[in-house]
Amino acid sequence: MNEIKSRSASSSWRSLFAVFIVIAGIIYGHYTLPRLKHNFYQEELSYDVTSYYLYLPMTFIYNDPGIRNKAIVDSLFVKYKPSPTFYQAFELENGNRVLNYTCGFAYAYAPFFFAAHYWAGKHNYLQDGFSFPYQIFIGIGVLFYVLVGWFFLRKVLLRYLGDIVTAVVLLITAFGTNYYSEAINNYLQPHAMLFSAYSLLLYCLMKWHDSPKKRYLITGGLVMGWMILSRPSEIVCLILPLLWNVYDKQSFHAKIKLIRNHISHVWLLLICGIAVFIPQFIYWYKLTGTPVFFSYQHTEGFDFAKPHILNVLFSFKKSLLVYTPLWIFTIIGLFRLRKYNKDLQPAIVLYAVVNFYLLSSWAAWWNGGSFGMRYFTESYAVMALPLGYLLKDIGTRNILLRGITLLSVSFFVFLNLFQTWQFTHWIIPDDRMTYAYYKKIFLNTKVSDEDRKLMEVQRSFAAEDFFTNDTAYTRYTLASFNFDNPILPTLIESRLDTAHHHSGIRSFELDTARKFSPKFKIPYFKLIKAEKDHVWLRVSLYYFSSGDIKMDPASIIICMPHKKYNLKYRGFDFEKQPYVAGQWNRVVADYMTPFPYNEKDNFDIYVWYRGNGAPVYIDDFKIDVYDPK
């Protein structure tokens, strides 16, 4: 028996060696990052990661999980600057603030958070949750999660593909896809960690179906529960255990019999999967009064009726086939699964189709700031199987096809590594790519300022836009209202006031009975020309307040609603601009249009009265458009 094990181990050295190459490549890529060289573990807990992470410091350091004392967060944002604005939570009417994202990744960060907290106290660092020890301990800890997944994926692939094909699949999955960028650069984001979780889940499913033992379904239940809690779209992972080894009527009955014979294992899986959610339920209950709360209500949402399939596949802004062309082989591999492994074909194909549809339906289909389509990264663990079977199939074909495949795969791996280098050296932008700029920088190591003008316009994440180069634009007036001859059908005659007016004979009154002015609406496609990517809006008006505008304030509101989500909602407060009490004052709001979720979405422009006392009168409402020359 020992001799057999020894022979098996020695015959699979290639795939083990491949794992160590992958690990070495990730470590090297991570520690040679320009951003890490310039700012060594100082900005790891930033942007979305801040929302995943804040559960820990707000609960265990500040004893304020509801962030009722916003001054704590404000001081941390001033000192560490994790993002330009505090968008990671939203305030409830009861004064609590609920974090946008669930606490799953906080579980992963927790061991390293507590170690960092202890170490910070021992070595005279601030125990505030964001000082250097927290950044480096959590960073290195998560890197461990990222690396360990490859050992489990290797075991799965060895079971089905053999040593040589497994080694090849491991190498090209790591270095030929945008996984590499996620693993070395965005590793604290969900996707590289979830890749490891899928690898562990596949291993547990394989082992349990081969030899049912409780530990495999206990682990599988914890992993699936954690994945779904951490990122609810990972509910698609349930397809894998449900259809594993099910491909026809006979195998279905065999699966039912297996489950009945080991029903206690299934109960343990369910209990473990649900148990993962309990801390989240407690958190929501304490903050909102209900154990189940939809914290994603301030996110973009899904366009299930109109998924962005073509953009997800082919767009130069971001897409699978442009930035991870190796995916072509994965897609073809799905069609070869039945020949080589009919047991797994339904589970993997259905998972791939549902996952693609789900992620293609996300309104912000370009996946935010990343290299390529980062939302798909975790699925590469599952898709390694059809990729491997395709390579196995090609290995049996003629030398010409094998040669073409070898050249194609080699080029795609080279291209991915080169473009990852471009991305980490700020040549490929986070989300501003255009076809013209892509052509200009293709396989180039340098880029000029003139070249960068071919990118989409630089959009700010800050709370306020500053329009300073109006000479580069052509101005025209889109709308102008002085309320003397109202043309908006939503104007209410009783709200038109003749006692106060800046020009003409009437103004529009806002008070506690009427807090919102009529909305001016215009669709994106009518405002921005097809060859342009933005315009600036300058909204101005005059207002008069008989009271104190600081006590009874108002704001110009500009946003772009998409279903229930307001894209780039901005409020321009009257009281924050210069004014003279008792006189008519002018307010100006500058607004750069965002990249749209749907070009048919409207921009909404209106005034919101935020006071409870003295009314505010508005007049000479004007919208100017600045179109790039």
The answer on pLDDT for 458 being more than 80 is: yes
For CATH 2.60.120.260, the residue range(s) in the chain are 470-628
The two three-digit tokens of residue 624, written as one number: 């100017």
Record the pTM: 0.93
The pLDDT value recorded for residue 488 is 53
Written as one string, the DSSP assignment of 365-387 is TT-SSSSS-GGGGGGHHHHHHHH
Q: List beta partners, residue 98.
A: 90
CB atoms within 10 A of CB 366: 22
Do 329 and 385 touch, CB atoms closer than 8 A? Answer: no
In which band, very low, low, confident or very high, does the pLDDT at 10 lie, cut at 50, 70 and 90? low
Distance (Å) of CA 340 to CA 15, 166, 388, 435, 438: 20, 15, 10, 39, 39
Residue 148: phi and psi, rounded to 5, are -70, -25
In which band, very low, low, confident or very high, does the pLDDT at 37 lie, cut at 50, 70 and 90? confident
The closest of 200, 186, 109 to 149, measured between CA atoms, is 200
Q: Quick one: what percent of the chain has pLDDT higher than 70?
A: 97
The pLDDT value recorded for residue 1 is 38
Distance (Å) of CA 621 to CA 419, 586, 587, 618: 48, 10, 10, 7
Tell me which fold the domain 470-628 belongs to: Jelly Rolls (2.60.120)
Helix count and strand count (H, E) for the chain: 25, 12
Q: Per-residue pLDDT tens for 278-309? A: 999 999 999 999 999 998 887 889 999 999 99
The answer on pLDDT for 160 being more than 70 is: yes
The answer on pLDDT for 491 being more than 80 is: no
* Mean pLDDT of the 264-270 span: 98
The pLDDT value recorded for residue 342 is 95
Pairwise CA distance, residues 85 & 629, whole Å: 31
CB atoms within 10 A of CB 113: 24
The answer on pLDDT for 483 being more than 90 is: no
Pairwise CA distance, residues 623 & 541, whole Å: 9
In which band, very low, low, confident or very high, does the pLDDT at 484 lie, cut at 50, 70 and 90? confident
* Mean pLDDT of the 111-128 span: 97
Q: Are strands 565-573 and 496-497 parallel, antiparallel or unpaired?
A: unpaired
Q: Per-residue pLDDT tens for 509-566? A: 999 999 999 899 999 999 999 899 999 999 999 999 989 999 999 999 999 999 889 9
Helix 249-261 vs helix 263-275: crossing angle, to nearest 10: 80
* Mean pLDDT of the 26-46 span: 93
In which band, very low, low, confident or very high, does the pLDDT at 6 lie, cut at 50, 70 and 90? very low
Q: Quick one: what percent of the chain has pLDDT higher than 90?
A: 90
The pLDDT value recorded for residue 487 is 57
The pLDDT value recorded for residue 494 is 66
Write down how long the chain is. Answer: 629
* Mean pLDDT of the 159-180 span: 97
The answer on pLDDT for 4 being more than 80 is: no
Distance (Å) of CA 44 to CA 80, 130, 191, 591: 10, 9, 15, 30
The pLDDT value recorded for residue 296 is 84
* Mean pLDDT of the 36-41 span: 88
* H-only helix segments in 425-470: 435-441, 449-452
Q: Per-residue pLDDT tens for 401-442? A: 999 999 999 999 999 999 999 999 999 999 999 999 999 999
Those residues whose C-beta lies under 8 Å from the C-beta of residue 402, and which sit 6 or more positions away, are 394, 395
Q: Per-residue pLDDT tens for 221-261? A: 999 999 999 999 999 999 999 999 999 999 999 999 999 99
Residue 115, burial from CB neighbour count under 10 angstroms (0-12, 13-18, 19+)? middle
Pairwise CA distance, residues 164 & 179, whole Å: 21
When comparing pLDDT for 252 and 496, which is higher? 252
In which band, very low, low, confident or very high, does the pLDDT at 38 lie, cut at 50, 70 and 90? confident
